[in-house]
Amino acid sequence: MGATALLLALLMSLAGFCLAKEAVEIGEEPWVEARMLKLSEELRCLVCQNETLASSRAELANDLRVEVRNLVKQGKTDPEIKDYLVARYGDFVLYRPEVKPLTWLLWFGPFAVLLGAAGMGWLYLRARKRHTARNALSAHDRARAEQLLNPVDRP
């Protein structure tokens, strides 16, 4: 009786070992998961205040992630998947706005401003040089100033 109990306990502990396993990733295939995550990081969770589809735990976000996984498995490309979602939810769902005339100001604006500001800075430095050159002390004035500031004949 004691031996049976011992054997049973041993078997059960072994069974426990067999059941403990390497945890499985939520999405089954790593390559699907990787693509889904990369896409979802640029997609917006529509029911959250401001979160990506990748990180949100909302119900709709879960559903949309499943949808994206399915689309990836079907072999759709990234642009096709984005178009699929935009057709249903509008541009709002993209965190990276498409480059189209509506967003030219957004994408090219900063660099245009940079060029403009750099140009203004250059013009400023140049105008400045001319101005200070005009107002610079003449050699005579400079010598007088030197003398006044550092009188040589101090005891």
Partner 1 sequence: MIVELGHYALILALLVALLQGVLPLVGAHRHNWHWQSLARPAAVLQFLLITLSFAALAYAFQANDFSVLYVAEHSNTRLPAMYRFAAVWGGHEGSLLLWLELLAVWTVSVALFSRQMPLAMVARVISVLGLISTGFLLFVLTTSNPFERLFPIPLEGKDLNPLLQDPGLVIHPPMLYMGYVGFSVAFAFAIAALLAGRLDVTWARWSRPWTLVAWVFLSFGIGLGSWWAYTELGWGGWWFWDPVENASLMPWLCGTALIHSLMVTEKRGSFKAWTVLLAISAFSLSLLGTFLVRSGVLNSVHAFASDPTRGVFILIFLAVVVGSSLSLFAWRAGAVSLGGEMAWVSRESVLLANSVLLVVATAAVLLGTLYPMVIDALNLGKLSVGPPYFDTVFVPLMVPVFFLMVLGVRARWRASTLQEWLHPLRRVGVLSLLTGALVAAYLGWSWGVALGMALGAWVVFGTLEPAIERLRKPGRIPLSFYAMHCAHLGMAMVLIGVTLVKGYELEKDVRIAAGDTITLGGYTFALQKVTEVPGPNYVAKRAEVLVTRDGQTVTTLFPEKRRYPSSAMPMTEAAIDTNLWRDLYVSLGEPLNNPAQEWSMRFYIKPFLSWIWLGVLMMVLGGLLGVSDRRYRRAAAVPLPAGATAA
Partner 2 sequence: MRKIILLPLILFVLLLGFLAIGLRRDPHEIPSPLVNRVAPPFSLSTLQPEQALFSPEAMRGKVWMLNVWATWCAACQEEHPVLVSFAQEGLVPLVGLSYKEVQAADAPEGKPFTPEAKLALARQRSLAWLRAKGDPYSLVAMDLDGRVGIDYGVYGVPETYVIDKQGVIRYKQIGAVTPAVLAEKIRPLIQELNRS
End-to-end CA distance of the chain: 118
57 in helix, strand or coil? coil
Q: Which is nearer to partner 1, 10 or 106 (CB)?
A: 106
Asked if 87 is part of the footprint of partner 2 (rule: CB under 8 A), the reply reads yes
Q: Which residue from 71, 101, 107 is spatially nearest to 88, judged by alpha carbons?
A: 71
Asked if 94 is part of the footprint of partner 1 (rule: CB under 8 A), the reply reads yes
150 in helix, strand or coil? coil
As given in the structure block, the two tokens for residue 53 are: 């589809």
CB of 33 to partner 1, least distance (A): 7
Asked if 90 is part of the footprint of partner 2 (rule: CB under 8 A), the reply reads yes
CB of 120 to partner 2, least distance (A): 8
The residues that touch partner 2, with contacts defined as CB under 8 A, are 46-47, 59-60, 63-64, 67, 86-90, 92, 120
